[in-house]
Structure formats: structure tokens, C-alpha cells
Amino acid sequence: MVYLKKLTIQGFKSFGSRRISIEVGKGLVVVTGPNGGGKSNILDAIRFALGELSAHNLRVGRMAELVHDDPSTNWARVSITLDNSDGALPIDSSDVTISRRISRSGESEYYVNGRQVSRNELLTMLSMANLKPSGFNIVPQGSVVEIAEKSGAELRKMLEEVAGISDYEKRKAEAEEQLAIAEKNLAIARASAKEVKARVKQLEKERNQAHRRRLVEEFLNGIRGLRLERSLENLRRELEEVDRRLLSIEEEISDLEAERKELGARKALLEKRLESEKAGLNELESRLSDLDLRRKAAESRASELRVKISTLKERIERIRKEKSYLISLRESLVKRLRELEIVREKLKEDELKGYGMKPMSVRKPYGESDKRH
């Protein structure tokens, strides 16, 4: 059990700005004085320091009225020192000083051994020693008669409250309520875990399908690549053959042109001998005409070969574009597979965290590496 050892009051109600300390010993202590001397204010000060929030219980209209009427006083402070020799309060000290400071705005600050705390922390600490601002630790005027007039059930309820049984029942009810909420959250978590497991299985199935599809695409792309390479090689050979044939035809045209010039020269000579050698001249003209026909035929063949060369070049360009598209498609499929792997790993990590397990590293699927081909 804790005992009140000292009470310090400054600026509270009828007490002025001068700090007043009252030493209190064990046993019966009586405070006497004339009416209006502030005897009841001492009891109010103790209740105030213990965290009382009711202005009615502190016998004022509003909390700001607890500050002394002197205009130079802007705050009030009450400190009580409790004997904690038996360790009823959870503080490693034989003396515990509880202070409360209130400003004219009505805002309060709480301190325990000089350390600022919240009101909830203070009330929790005091409840360990069964101390309450409005409990039966403090019996104000008129309460004795009120207690004497209580019924048996009311007295029992009061005794349970004094003994701390009611607080125990309240904490027990709160604990049971929190337990029910925890069980509900656990059931929700289990249901979520089942959904996550189902989703992970679905993602694993999709990943396997994507992996098989990628392997098939790589195999088909390989085959298409080989076919394209063979087609390109064949087209290169055909182009070389056409180039050789074109060169041969151009050489033949050159030879025919030289021969035509030679025949022209011979024609000139033969024209001089026209009168004497008309028969020979006619023969030469016939040969010259034949050569012209052969030259024209060669030029026609050369034009056809040029058209064929242009067509082959266009085919080569289309094949190159198709090869580039297949490479881009393969990279897109690999990127999609990686994204699926990341989603699957994320879901597995969430599932493992739900069971309190550490995530395990997973080997990358076959064919997935940072090396680019």
C-alpha cells in the first residue's frame, strides 16, 4: 500500500502564487481551520493531481477556474509525493512524485518523477496500486452518509471497486473482446492465405505455360532463323551468278560493238568497191544486220537481268525486316516471363510472411539470364 508523504500546491484555487508544501505522515492527520480557509481545496488538489477531469467533482464551473484569481498567475501546479517502499507502483523508486500543471486555457500536463507522461499512462500506473481520481481512496463531504444508506448490492459493488475486482472484470472483458477480435482477424488471415495459395498455384501454372511457350518460340525462331540464313545464302549465290552472267553479257556486247565497228569499216571499204563487188557488199550488209539483231537481243537480256537483280534485293530487304521482328518478339516474350516471375516471388514472400517464415531464394527458370544473344 502506498502512503501520501508530501503535498505541494502553487497557484491552485485559493492558494496563491507562493509554493506551499504540506508534510503528511502515516496515521490520522487532521487539518483544521475556519470556514473558507481552503481545507476542502487540499482534498481537491489531491484529486486534481491524480488526474480528475470533472470540473464538478473539483467544485468549479470549468477547469480554467482552478487557476488562482490573481491576474499575474497563469497556471496552477499540484505535486504529491507517495511512499512506494513496498513497490506497489511499477517504478524503481521508494518515493514517487506525481505532478499536474494546468494553464488558464484548461490544458494539463502530467509528470512522474519529473518525466512528462500522458494521462492514460498515469492512470495505468496508479491502477497498479488501486488509486483512482474518483475512487474511494478519497471520501469527500457527505459520502459517509451516502455509503451508510447504500443497499447490500451497492455496498458489494463498492467493495469490489475498492478491492480492484471491478477493474479486473473490466480488464478481463476488454481482454476477451480483444481475443475475439484477434480470432476474427486470424480467421480472415487464414482465408486470405488460402486465396494467396490458390493465386500462387494459378501463377505457377501460368509461369509454366509461359515457359513452355517461350521454349517453343525459341525453337521455332531458331528454325526460322536457319531457314532465313539459308534463303539469304541462296539469294547471295543467285546474285553472284547473275552478276557473273551480266559481266559476261557486257563483255559480249563490247565484243559485238568492236566487231560492228570493224564491219562498218569494212563496209566503207566495200562501198568503194561497190560497183565491182556488189554481191560481196550485199553479203556484208546482211552480216551487219544480223550483228545488230544479236546486239539488241543481248541488250534485252541485260535489261531483264537488271530487273531480276532489283527483285532479289527487295526480297533480301524483306527477309532482314522479318528477322528483326522475330528477334524483337523473342525479347518481348522473355520480358513478360520475367514480370510473371517477379509477381510469383512477391506473392510467395507475402505468403511466407503470413506464416512468419523467411523467404527462400528461387532459381531463375531455364533460359533466363543477363547474357544477350
Percent of the chain with pLDDT over 70: 84
The pLDDT assigned to 277 comes to 66
Q: Does one domain contain both 212 and 134?
A: no
Residue in 71, 75, 69 with CA at minimum distance from that of residue 109: 75
Contacts of 49 (CB under 8 A, 6+ apart): 78, 79, 80, 98, 99, 100
Q: Does one domain contain both 131 and 213?
A: no
CA end-to-end distance (rounded Å), the chain = 82
Q: Does one domain contain both 104 and 252?
A: no
Pick the range with the lowest mean pLDDT from 22-36, 100-114, 133-147, 169-183.
Answer: 133-147
The pLDDT assigned to 371 comes to 46
Q: Does one domain contain both 94 and 214?
A: no
Domain closes at, from 107, 140, 173: 140
Confidence of residue 146 (pLDDT cuts 50, 70, 90): low
Taking the C-alpha atoms of residue 266 and residue 264, their distance in angstroms, rounded to an integer, is: 5
| Overall average pLDDT of the 233-240 stretch | 85
* Residue 178 in domain: no
Q: CA geometry: angle at 109 spanning 69 and 31, to 5°?
A: 55
* Residue 294 in domain: yes
| Overall average pLDDT of the 112-125 stretch | 92
* Residue 158 in domain: no
Q: Does one domain contain both 216 and 69?
A: no
Residue 263: how many other CB atoms lie within 10 Å: 17
Decide if pLDDT at 103 tops 70.
yes
Q: What is the CATH classification number for the domain harbouring 272?
A: 1.10.287
Taking the C-alpha atoms of residue 326 and residue 330, their distance in angstroms, rounded to an integer, is: 6
The pLDDT assigned to 372 comes to 46
- What is the tens place of the pLDDT at every residue in 130-145? 787 776 666 666 565 6
Q: Does one domain contain both 65 and 207?
A: no
Q: What is the CATH classification number for the domain harbouring 126?
A: 3.40.50.300
The pLDDT assigned to 369 comes to 47
Pick the range with the lowest mean pLDDT from 79-83, 109-113, 221-225.
Answer: 221-225
The pLDDT assigned to 370 comes to 46
Encode 98-148 in three state secondary structure: EEEEEECCCCEEEEECCEEECHHHHHHHHHCCCCCCCCCCCCCCCHHHHHH
Q: Which residue has the cell 549465290?
A: 237
DSSP 279-308: HHHHHHHHHHHHHHHHHHHHHHHHHHHHHH
Decide if pLDDT at 123 tops 60.
yes
Cα distances (angstroms) measured from residue 227 to each of 60, 143, 203, 283, 315: 100, 106, 35, 57, 14
Residue in 235, 215, 232, 219 with CA at minimum distance from that of residue 323: 232
Contacts of 327 (CB under 8 A, 6+ apart): 221
pLDDT greater at residue 248 or residue 116: 116
The pLDDT assigned to 287 comes to 82
Contacts of 271 (CB under 8 A, 6+ apart): 281
Confidence of residue 275 (pLDDT cuts 50, 70, 90): confident
Cα 147–chain centre separation: 60
Q: Does one domain contain both 214 and 296?
A: yes
Backbone φ, ψ for residue 130 (5° rounding): 60, 40
The pLDDT assigned to 113 comes to 93
* Residue 154 in domain: no
* Residue 163 in domain: no
Identify the H or E element spanning 346: helix 278-354
Q: Does one domain contain both 262 and 349?
A: yes
| Overall average pLDDT of the 318-339 stretch | 84
- What is the tens place of the pLDDT at every residue in 181-231? 888 888 888 888 888 888 888 888 888 888 888 888 888 888 888 888 888
Domain that holds residue 254: 188-354
Q: Does one domain contain both 134 and 205?
A: no
* Residue 159 in domain: no
* Mean pLDDT value across the chain: 81
Pick the range with the lowest mean pLDDT from 25-29, 164-168, 280-284, 332-336.
Answer: 164-168
Structural domain total, the chain? 2
Q: Residue 108, exposed/middle/buried by CB under 10 A (0-12, 13-18, 19+)?
A: middle
* Residue 373 in domain: no
* Residue 269 in domain: yes
Residue in 137, 56, 68 with CA at minimum distance from that of residue 102: 68
Pairing assessment for the beta strands 20-23 and 108-112 based on DSSP bridges = unpaired
Confidence of residue 373 (pLDDT cuts 50, 70, 90): very low
Decide if pLDDT at 54 tops 60.
yes
Decide if pLDDT at 168 tops 50.
yes
Q: Does one domain contain both 131 and 72?
A: yes
* Torsional sign, CA 229, 231, 233, 235: negative
Q: Does one domain contain both 78 and 215?
A: no
CB 295 within 8 A of CB 260: yes
The pLDDT assigned to 351 comes to 75
The pLDDT assigned to 162 comes to 60
Q: Give the global pTM.
A: 0.43
Q: Does one domain contain both 308 and 211?
A: yes
